[in-house]
Amino acid sequence: MHNIRKTLVVVDPDQDQEPLLDKARMIASATRSHLHLLICDRQLNHTSLLETLEAELTEQGFSITAQHAWHGCPANTTITVAAAESCGLVIKQHRPDNPLLKTILTPDDWKLLRDCACPVLIVKNAAPWSGGIILAAIDVGNTDVQHRLLQAGIVSHGYDIARLMGGTLHLMSAHPFPTLAAADPVFQLKDSLAAFYREECTTFQEEFGIDDPQLHIEEGPAELLIPQVAHTLRAAVTVVGDVGRRGLAGALVGNTAEMILDSLDTDLLVIKPGDVIAHLEELAAPMPATVDPALVHSWPYHHHHRA
């Protein structure tokens, strides 16, 4: 989160903008990032709203630009503008989807989560993050390189938010039900499965200072358990990953971020492996002469010092 320089704020004229703008102000204040307001609408008749919001935020001391655009649908418009403006984060409010239409058409928010190249924050409520619980949900059962990279990115983003907002980081992972037919004996018993998942989380606990009471290993489907744990903890924001599964696989299996979107009652931050790679590439680039090397330890993925 520290390296966000520009945040795209997607304004829906039909929604109350305050929950969205509160989160935008909070993130801009913490990261000193520029805010770029966007209204996605084929009817270019929201100039007065944009001018009003831009004037208010400028008066409050924020760096602001605003734009009205349309590229076929809200998701495509958001993705196109985010890329053109080199935004490091997209913030938008969730608009609940019609359950019947969802079985026929891919919801717009789903399209955004699948195809947006940068992290996406979906605002679900007006609750502040300051001093709250940050829940990082990872799948340590997937051990391929892409998923391991994504797991590290999820926990690191959660750690950054907790530090910026003075909150507490919690970590969870959901393991499948045991099956006697499993080839690996570890997956045949509940206790051995839970122990395996807990052991896989040890590295994250040590690196990010997560004590055992803040680790939650649950049995069952992640898409059901993540909203339950988030609700029980009264988390302020939940951080998950999305591998961007598309086509038939996406239609049949679904992505966890999409499946929990409606049932989750916290804000949702979604990142992808590409987000993590971009951070690592930036860190690997030669530092400008004006950068103090002593500050590098505070950048994302260099968490040798705990909060």
**Shared-domain flag, residues 172 and 71:** no
Residue 270 near residue 122, CB atoms below 8 Å: yes
Of 63, 96, 123, the residue at which a domain comes to its end is 123
pTM: 0.84
**Shared-domain flag, residues 164 and 114:** no
Asked whether the CA dihedral 227, 232, 235, 241 is positive or negative, the reply is: negative
**Shared-domain flag, residues 179 and 235:** yes
Domains of the chain: total? 2
CATH of the domain at 100: 3.40.50.12370
At 14 the three-state DSSP class reads: coil
pLDDT in tens, 151-200: 999 999 999 999 999 999 999 999 887 665 455 655 556 778 889 899 99
Of 126, 122, 90, 130, nearest in space to 16 by CA: 126
Residue 147: the pLDDT is 81
Distance CA 86, CA 36 (A): 11
Of 56, 90, 123, the residue at which a domain comes to its end is 123
> Where would I find the H helices in the chain?
18-31, 47-59, 74-84, 99-102, 108-115, 145-165, 190-200, 202-208, 222-233, 247-252, 256-259, 273-284
- Model confidence at 78, pLDDT cuts 50, 70, 90, reads very high
Distance CA 178, CA 186 (A): 9
**Shared-domain flag, residues 146 and 287:** yes
Of 102, 123, 144, the residue at which a domain comes to its end is 123
**Shared-domain flag, residues 95 and 233:** no
Rg (CA), the chain: 20
Of 223, 225, 275, nearest in space to 254 by CA: 223
The answer as to whether 21 is a domain residue is: yes
Residue 144: the pLDDT is 79
**Shared-domain flag, residues 159 and 269:** yes
**Shared-domain flag, residues 109 and 159:** no
Distance CA 48, CA 39 (A): 12
**Shared-domain flag, residues 78 and 188:** no
**Shared-domain flag, residues 149 and 254:** yes
The answer as to whether 144 is a domain residue is: yes
| Percent of residues, the chain, with pLDDT higher than 90 | 60
- Model confidence at 300, pLDDT cuts 50, 70, 90, reads very low
The answer as to whether 52 is a domain residue is: yes
The answer as to whether 128 is a domain residue is: no
Asked if residue 277 has pLDDT above 80, the reply is no
Distance CA 242, CA 118 (A): 11
Domain extent, residue 37, equals 6-123
Average pLDDT over residues 241-258: 59
More confident position, 290 or 161 = 161
**Shared-domain flag, residues 95 and 142:** no
**Shared-domain flag, residues 18 and 47:** yes
**Shared-domain flag, residues 173 and 262:** yes
Question: Which tokens sit at 71?
Answer: 């590229």
